[in-house]
Amino acid sequence: MISRLAFASCYVYSPAGVGVASERSRLLRELLKEGNAHFMLKYAMRVRLQTECYPCLGGFFLAGDVLVPVPRCAPRSRGLWVAAELAQALVRNGVGKAAWQGLRRIRAVRKSATAASATRPTVAAHYESFRVEQPSFRVASVVLIDDVVTKGRTLFAAAARLTEAFPDVPVRAFALLRTRGLISAVDHLLEPCIGEIRWNGSDARRIP
C-alpha cells in the first residue's frame, strides 16, 4: 500500500452550503456529470490556462503524462464515462501526452455519491475491484483523472493498484472538483490547489 498520493484540483463544490457560490458549485457539478462535450472542452481549456497562471499548478502536469480516467462503479457500465471524457478533453487541450483507459473495474462497488457515509466503499473494496491492463506503449508518468474527489478513497486505491503494476512510474491524481462538505458555504468556485491524499492506517484522508 502506498502512504500518500499527490493530487491537484481547480474548483470547489459544496454539497449543502448556502449562498450563491455554493449553488453555483452544485450547478457546475451537475453540468460536469452531464458530460456535455462543449462543457468538457471549455473546462479542460481552463485547466490548461490555470496551469500557466497559478504557481501552485505550475509543473504539476508533465508533457509525457499518461492520463488514466478512474473507472465507473460497475464493469461494462452503460452511459457516459465522465472521467474518460474529461481525460480526452484535457489531452486535446495540450494537457498530458495521451489518455489511456487501462484501469478497469472487474467487480462493482457501491456508488459513493448515493451511499450513506457508513456504507461507502472502503479503500480496500475499491482496490480489489480494479485491474490494470498491459499497455502497448511505455508509461513514463501517470495522472489519474476524476471529476470529483471527496475523501479520496477511489483515487488512492486506483493509485495503489497502478503503482503495483508500474512500480517505477510516478502516479499523481487530478480532480476538476473537490468537495468541501464540512463548511457552511464556499465563497468562490475557482480555488486551484495541490494537496495530498494520505493513508492513516485505516482510511484515506484528503488534505486539503
Residues 135-166: tens digit of each pLDDT: 999 999 999 999 999 999 999 999 999 999 99
pLDDT of amino acid 197: 98
Tally: H helices and E strands in the chain? 5, 9
Beta strands per DSSP E along the chain: 4-13, 65-69, 98-99, 103-105, 130-132, 141-149, 171-179, 190-199, 204-207
Q: Using the predicted structure, report yes or no on whether residue 35 has a pLDDT greater than 70.
A: yes
Residue 44, classified by CB atoms within 10 Å of its CB into exposed (0-12), middle (13-18) or buried (19+), is: buried
Averaged pLDDT, 12-36? 94
Q: 182 versus 73: which is more confidently predicted?
A: 73
Domains of the chain: 4-207 (3.40.50)
Q: Using the predicted structure, report yes or no on whether residue 117 has a pLDDT greater than 80.
A: no
pLDDT of amino acid 33: 94
DSSP 76: T
CA nearest 144: which of 153, 77, 136?
A: 153
Q: What pLDDT digit, counting tens, does each position of 193-204 carry?
A: 999 999 999 999
Q: What pLDDT digit, counting tens, does each position of 58-98 carry?
A: 999 999 999 999 999 999 888 899 999 999 999 999 999 99
